[in-house]
Amino acid sequence: MMEIRAFEEASLPYFQKPGHGSHHPCIGHEAIEAAIGAVLREKDYLFGSHRSHGQLLTKGLDPKLIMAELWGKTTGYCKGRGGSMHVTDWSRRVLPSGIVGTSITLAVGAALAIKLRGSDEVALAAFGDGAANTGAFHEGLNMTAIWNLPAVFVCENNGLAVTTHFRDSTSVERVADRATAYGIPGRTVDGTDPLASYDAVSEAVERARRGKGPSLIEAMVPRWKGHAAWDRGRYLTEAELEEMQTRDPLPRYRKYLIEEKVLTVEEIESIDAEMRAIMEEAVRFAEESPAPPLTKEEAIKYVYI
Amino acid sequence: MRMISFAQALVEAQREEMRRDEAVFLMGEDIGYSGGSFGATAGLWEEFGAERVRDTPISEAAIMGAAVGAAIASMRPVVEMQYLEFLPYIDALVNLAAKLHLMSGGQILVPLVLRGPLGAKGGNGAQHTQNFEAWFMHTPGLLVVMPSTPYDAKGLLKTAIRDNNPVVFIEEKTIYFTQGEVPEEEYTIPFGQADIKRRGEDVTVVATGITVRRALNAARLLARDGIDVEVIDPRTLVPLDIDTIIESVRKTSHVVVAHQAPKTGGVGAEIVAQIQEQAFDYLDAPIKRVAGLDTPAPYNVELEKKALVYEDDILDGVREVLA
């Protein structure tokens, strides 16, 4: 969780200046992301969204190589061809996608492949509440349900689809209620609580791994930063912003760890300092890394194999 | 040699590739028990079962997205879209299949085939009568195949299934029941090799799909008037074998490009542009495009024909460039 927060806080300022690509910070989503990473095995598939940095880090990717990809450098995971919404390490089976809802159908297909190959992996799709209103969500959940595929759908509900409030865009109180329509389990969990999130994800993943079929998890999270780096959040009232910041998952879990004597204040501060140092170094690495050769030939590399 | 239909050729290609490689599976609407709306999967459900010949819900977005998901997870899906006009699949085709290889810096392969009917069947109305192959050609990352004979269909579909790029395989609707010679023994046809369907000296006609057949009929009629027509079928639009076309143009100096798709922004426009870039000095007359009209297809069958390209249209086009 601290790694994800440190990554976002180190990288975000660079994307608030003109001339850079996109950056959708996942600040506020750290607990559910950490839970996903803690549950999934290396060979499990994770399909992420445009807001994917936490999904990448939780799958064990190297912050330096993610950062270099955000900077469009050859040292990045995709050699500067992907960018923030498309950082991919396929050896770790993590693939985000910038079109809202596509992580869902990709997970359907990977889960189908797992079933056809007869292996015991799981495909997990992470997406936002906006994706719950796409056709891909409804088609995808129905398809995995009828075929009983090893898939898990995690809706990170931060209450905002770009600037549109959940209450103005969605016909039900809870996204998890939609699971009933497809005859699969659905539950809502506090996505700022890493332990509750872990339990929910773990239950769904194990269910899928045992061949019992897909589940839908709705993880409630805040988003007090904008949709993307450019966004100043003018569609939120001061009261709404303040309410969301009270749900910051980090101080709460810190307090829990100290109270339960898992870690001391000093240990937590030391981890925090270490993470911030790693991210500073990652930014330096990204800045100092070479750009791809700036030629027409390079621009069309990787169109076909 | 034995004669089989275009649809039977597709069945054979898929059967052979499914026997050859366990990663190959089929998915689509009504392809199992009923064998596909145009019979292009007939008998495969019986041989391979419902796991590998997979009937889907009417969920074109999920079918295509799932095909990409399966392809990148070590399978080789062949998707039959019941009609290529059922467009919810376009997002996953364009935004996932065509782009994941590049966006991942070459890490991800998307070995899938999207195949299905496109074009006129006669009186299907405007939604079920379209030729937008130019869209696919205009989407870098996709390979685009448009065969005109059962022989080509079989050999090209086998190549498509083995290729590690996403391939769109276009079957014009009236072509399914056409017959042609197909050998019993195995063969494949490489992409990017145009086929000269008829050799001639006076004029080059470049035609695609069902229009190749009409161009050959027109060529036979023109031969009676002493006009010797060369008919070239590119077979694959991406990659496009422009070299074979240019070689022909240098010989004949007169060119007609013919297809069913609407004229504006069509595949023909691209072929004409490449010819003028590479062989302008060899041309004795402006190149003629004989193409569909820029309209949604009208329902009335006879009126629909007026919007499309038949032998007479090609005859007129050839006479015009030779005049």
Same domain, B173 and B207: no
- The boundaries of the domain holding residue B227 are 195-322
**End-to-end Cα spacing for chain B:** 40
Chain B residues in contact with A95 (beta carbon < 8 A): 72, 100, 104, 108
Euclidean distance between CA atoms B100 and B94, whole angstroms: 10
ipTM surpassing 0.85:
yes
pLDDT digits (tens, 9 = 90+) for A169-206: 999 999 999 999 999 999 999 999 999 999 999 999 99
| Angle, helices A102-117/B60-72, rounded to nearest 10 degrees | 60
Euclidean distance between CA atoms B161 and A185, whole angstroms: 37
Residue ranges in B53-205 assigned as alpha helix (H) = 60-72, 90-91, 100-103, 133-137, 150-162
- Using the beta-carbon criterion (under 8 Å), do B70 and A116 form an inter-chain contact? yes
Pairing relationship of beta strands B229-233 and B195-198 according to DSSP bridges: antiparallel
Residue B288 DSSP code: E
Same domain, B202 and B149: no
Chain B residues in contact with A99 (beta carbon < 8 A): 91, 95-96
Q: Which residues of A touch B (CB under 8 A)?
A: 45, 47, 76-82, 86, 88-91, 95, 97, 99, 102, 104-114, 116-117, 123, 135-136, 139-140, 142-143, 146, 300-305
CA distances (Å), B265 to each of A305, B133, B226, in order?
A: 27, 11, 33
Cα torsion at B38, B40, B45, B48 (round to 10°)? -170
DSSP per-residue codes, A190-240: ETT-HHHHHHHHHHHHHHHHTT---EEEEEE----S-SSTT---TTS-HHH
- Using the beta-carbon criterion (under 8 Å), do B103 and A99 form an inter-chain contact? no
Residue B123, chain A, CB below 8 Å: the answer is: no
CA distances (Å), A135 to each of A165, A168, B91, B188, in order?
A: 19, 18, 11, 38
- The continuous run of DSSP H or E covering B27 comes out as strand B24-28
What per-residue confidence (pLDDT) applies to A213?
Answer: 98
Same domain, B209 and B267: yes
What per-residue confidence (pLDDT) applies to A48?
Answer: 97
- The continuous run of DSSP H or E covering A116 comes out as helix A102-117
**Position B92 pLDDT exceeds 80:** yes
Closest to B100 measured CA to CA, from A139, A47, A108: A47
- Using the beta-carbon criterion (under 8 Å), do B69 and A111 form an inter-chain contact? yes
Q: What is the mean pLDDT of chain A?
A: 96
- Using the beta-carbon criterion (under 8 Å), do B66 and A104 form an inter-chain contact? no
What per-residue confidence (pLDDT) applies to B177?
Answer: 95
Euclidean distance between CA atoms B121 and B118, whole angstroms: 9
Same domain, B174 and B207: no
- Using the beta-carbon criterion (under 8 Å), do A305 and B77 form an inter-chain contact? no
What residues of B are annotated to the active site? Answer: 128
Chain B residues in contact with A146 (beta carbon < 8 A): 57
Same domain, B236 and B130: no
Chain A residues in contact with B143 (beta carbon < 8 A): 304
Please report whether residue B31 resides in a domain: yes
Option in A45, A117, A302 nearest B101 (CB): A302
| Angle, helices A265-288/A2-15, rounded to nearest 10 degrees | 40
10 Å Cβ neighbour count for B174?
Answer: 17
Q: What is the mean pLDDT of chain B?
A: 98
Confidence of residue A53 (pLDDT cuts 50, 70, 90): very high
Option in A102, A111, A116 nearest B96 (CB): A102
Confidence of residue A229 (pLDDT cuts 50, 70, 90): confident
Euclidean distance between CA atoms B75 and B91, whole angstroms: 20
What per-residue confidence (pLDDT) applies to A274?
Answer: 98
What per-residue confidence (pLDDT) applies to A232?
Answer: 78
Looking at CA atoms only, how far is residue A9 from chain B in angstroms?
25
CATH of the domain at B210: 3.40.50.920
What per-residue confidence (pLDDT) applies to A177?
Answer: 97
- Using the beta-carbon criterion (under 8 Å), do B141 and A142 form an inter-chain contact? no
Handedness of CA B27, B29, B34, B35 (dihedral sign): negative
**End-to-end Cα spacing for chain A:** 38
Please report whether residue B61 resides in a domain: yes
**Position B285 pLDDT exceeds 80:** yes
Euclidean distance between CA atoms B178 and B175, whole angstroms: 5
Please report whether residue B190 resides in a domain: no
**Position A19 pLDDT exceeds 80:** no
Closest to B96 measured CA to CA, from B68, B70, B75, B73: B68
Confidence of residue A226 (pLDDT cuts 50, 70, 90): confident
Closest to A194 measured CA to CA, from A32, A55, A6, A86: A32
φ/ψ of B232, rounded to 5, equals -115, 130
Same domain, B138 and B210: no
What per-residue confidence (pLDDT) applies to B161?
Answer: 98
pLDDT digits (tens, 9 = 90+) for A102-112: 999 999 999 99
Please report whether residue B187 resides in a domain: no
pLDDT digits (tens, 9 = 90+) for B6-29: 999 999 999 999 999 999 999 999
Option in A108, A117, A302 nearest B62 (CB): A108
Same domain, B205 and B155: no
Chain B residues in contact with A107 (beta carbon < 8 A): 69
Same domain, B85 and B149: yes
Once rounded to an integer, what is the mean pLDDT over residues A146-164? 95
Looking at CA atoms only, how far is residue B191 from chain A in angstroms?
13
Please report whether residue B282 resides in a domain: yes
What per-residue confidence (pLDDT) applies to A253?
Answer: 97
Please report whether residue B188 resides in a domain: no
Once rounded to an integer, what is the mean pLDDT over residues A60-81? 97
**Position B35 pLDDT exceeds 80:** yes
CATH of the domain at B140: 3.40.50.970
Same domain, B167 and B200: no
Option in A76, A90, A104 nearest B108 (CB): A90
Euclidean distance between CA atoms B46 and B33, whole angstroms: 8
Closest residue in A to B108 (Cα–Cα): A90
Once rounded to an integer, what is the mean pLDDT over residues B211-236? 98
What per-residue confidence (pLDDT) applies to A18?
Answer: 78
Same domain, B163 and B204: no
Domains and CATH numbers, chain A: 2-291 (3.40.50.970)
Looking at CA atoms only, how far is residue A170 from chain B in angstroms?
21
What per-residue confidence (pLDDT) applies to A139?
Answer: 98
What per-residue confidence (pLDDT) applies to A260?
Answer: 97
Domain total of chain B: 2
Same domain, B251 and B273: yes
- The continuous run of DSSP H or E covering A273 comes out as helix A265-288
Handedness of CA A126, A128, A133, A136 (dihedral sign): negative
What per-residue confidence (pLDDT) applies to A20?
Answer: 77
Confidence of residue B140 (pLDDT cuts 50, 70, 90): very high
Confidence of residue B302 (pLDDT cuts 50, 70, 90): very high
Peptide bond preceding B239 in cis form (omega within 30 of 0): yes
Same domain, B218 and B288: yes
Domain end point (choices B156, B181, B206):
B181
Q: Which two tokens stand for residue B32?
A: 């199992």
**Position B93 pLDDT exceeds 80:** yes
- Tell the burial category of B50 from Cβ atoms under 10 Å away from its Cβ (0-12, 13-18, 19+): exposed
Q: Residue A35: which residues within 8 A CB-CB, separation 6 or more?
A: A194, A197, A198, A200, A201, A202
Once rounded to an integer, what is the mean pLDDT over residues B60-83? 98
Please report whether residue B176 resides in a domain: yes
C-beta separation of A115 from A178 below 8 A: no
Please report whether residue B149 resides in a domain: yes
B residues 131-190 closer than 8 Å to A (CB): 140-141, 143, 164-165
Confidence of residue B246 (pLDDT cuts 50, 70, 90): very high
Domain end point (choices B150, B181, B212):
B181
Euclidean distance between CA atoms B240 and A8, whole angstroms: 45
